[in-house]
Amino acid sequence: MITPLGNRLVYPFVYLTKQKGDNCLFYRFAIMTFDRKELSNEQLIDLYKKLLWPRMIEDKMLVLLRQGKISKWFSGIGQEAISVGATSALQEDEWIMPLHRNLGVFTTRNMPLNQLFKQWQGAQEGYSKGRERSFHFGNKEHHICGMISHLGPQLAIADGVALAYKLRKEKKVALAFTGDGGTSEGDFHEAVNVAAVWDLPVIFIIENNGYGLSTPVNEQYRCISLVDKAKGYGMEGVAIDGNNILSVYDTIKGVRDYCIRHQKPYLIECLTFRMRGHEEASGTKYVPQDLFRLWEQKDPIKNYERYLIEAGVINEMKVADIRNEFKEKIESELAIGFDTKPVVADTEEELEDVYARTEVRGQKPGVRIVDNSASNSDIGHPTSDLRLIDAISQGLKQSMQQHTNLILMGQDIAEYGGAFKITEGFVQEFGKERVRNTPLCESAIVGTALGLSLEGYKSMMEMQFADFVTVGFNQIVNNLAKIHYRWGQNADVVIRMPTGGGVGAGPFHSQSNEAWFTKVPGLKVVYPSTPIDAKGLLIAAINDPNPVMYFEHKALYRSVSGPVPEDYYEIEIGKARHVREGDEVSIITYGAGVHWAEDYAAEHPEISIDILDLRTLAPLDYLSIRGAVQRTGRVLILHEDSLIGGIGGEIAAWIAENCFAILDAPVMRCASLDTPVPFSIELEQNFLAKSRLDEAVQKLISY
């Protein structure tokens, strides 16, 4: 029975003790009791059916696994009450972020079983077109967000969804699952902390089943109960019997009302047990057999079924009828699900599905496309002379005016205006709901941005320095980048990356790390060098439904100026700019390298230098790269990034493979040293590629 205590819900049965003779925590419970509250007989039976349905599906899946008809399975047997109870307590259009053992979420949301069977066997007719396995998929129609193998990042996505609900003043909650092992990850701390600080209506459920794969909970944490963590974040929490369907349903229904009424998050620890291995191949030899005997007595289905029979809600004949009905339905759905076509790989479709489709160029309402890709292009329209930093700020401000669903997030970006003052004054014009200071938690804010995207919002996150992206790397490369390819969900997110050296900021504030992200399918990588491109490419990035890494060079912020159209316009992502015409040597570059190349060309009028500014590093403009090769036959690739692993190596390889016949010399590279960026100005100047540009050009010309 759940009893109120202040604002907390207390379930009075549970305490933990160390079991003698083994290395495992052991739960001791009072006898499981059920309290139907105001539920009708029909509602009680409906919960029984929802609880039994995933169990019977799993029983069949284990048979299919032994027969070799599926390759892998993560069993939730013994934990069904949590998934079913939680999902039943929510509205159907409230987002849930499930994990491996939450089959009951998918079945309670009435996802067609034949379609699930197709998914589990890797058929192209499944939800992920054969690109994902088991429960690593989602579906917008059913408001289920697909997990990734890293267990913590799901939690922050719930923050973003809940923020969308809060901004629209909708009476909804987001719900995310994690396990006892997942609470050890930094993503757990970050997501729970953000939800608490921002007062977001999120329900965090910890499924504490005693083990993270084979690691027992006493090797995962030292607090007596995981729900005690809630206090440290200034939020409420409760530990409940996760095997009691009525307790789970009633608790989450009440917690949902609390979260909506108070606009606050809530942490629920559901105590349960995994009756099978982490996945079937891992086995359960590490689990003391006494625990299986104990938890068998607490089986969520057997106990609830017994209660319904004893209460006269249902009889054994009705139970048998339901089971027979389900058995027949499983077989019929299985016949449909296994009647699939062989997987046929279509390379063009595979590549197309990496990105969400963008609107056709020139057909976007309310936005002008500026084509300044040629060295002698006329940009037209009234212009103002702006510094690069002012052009970025103007593009961001006009985007905020254009898109009322655009949310800005970052450390110190509100009243302070950001580390570089790009958002100075924004909070006065757009308010703190849309211009949001964040805690120091890059991973959670990237996840929050993705969650906003699930609900149709656009977001811009400012990494205070590009160097700090490492602590948000997982969310970017595994969640943002892959989500459209995996199950067709776009990630409408721009991450601004103040980058580059030349300002004496040392190894943790000066790195050029753009090449890390060009390797990741699903990300677009933009790197402007001029004010006109900085504004136009930022607007294009915000309009693009795909995740865009937008690099902006700190040393260029206030040192580079130029004419910038005053209106709202785009520069096309994926199209390079021909900066300067020449016929002796082509310098292909981007960012600060463009200005190094222009300065060098001005200092050496005796050399006819052709300059191509890539502007976009993913996708690359191969047509323009080929044009640069054709114009001179001699190519130098210049970038501030270090040599090894820089994008110059990839471009050089492409030229060698595709333009060999029009080359007059080997493709050469000029890059920074393969060292961290030093602090001393003298050492930094020696580090930068600029110091070796003359040597590289002379070597190429004299070849």
> For residue 58, with 0-12 CB atoms within 10 Å meaning exposed, 13-18 middle and 19 or more buried, which class applies?
buried
The answer to whether residue 142 is catalytic is: no
β-pairing, 383-387 vs 561-565, is antiparallel
Q: How many CB atoms lie within 10 A of CB 274?
A: 23
Unique residue bearing structure tokens 């995962």: 220
Report which of 142, 83, 192, 93 is spatially closest to residue 447, judged by C-alpha positions.
192
Report which of 92, 82, 96, 112 is spatially closest to residue 146, judged by C-alpha positions.
96
Exactly one of 100, 143, 278, 509 is catalytic; name it.
509
> For residue 167, with 0-12 CB atoms within 10 Å meaning exposed, 13-18 middle and 19 or more buried, which class applies?
middle
Is the distance from CB of 58 to CB of 75 less than 8 angstroms? Answer: yes
Is the distance from CB of 447 to CB of 159 less than 8 angstroms? Answer: yes
380-to-372, 386, 563 alpha-carbon distances in Å? 10, 16, 10
Tokens of 304: 């609830």
The one-letter amino acid code at 462 reads E
The one-letter amino acid code at 408 reads L
Q: What are phi and psi of 629, to 5 degrees?
A: -65, -45
DSSP annotation of 543:
H
* Residue 9, SS3 per DSSP: strand
**Integer Cα distance of 374 and 395 in angstroms:** 22
Is the distance from CB of 511 to CB of 600 less than 8 angstroms? Answer: no
**Integer Cα distance of 152 and 144 in angstroms:** 16
**Integer Cα distance of 703 and 692 in angstroms:** 17
Report which of 174, 194, 207 is spatially closest to residue 96, judged by C-alpha positions.
174
Q: Which residues are catalytic?
A: 509
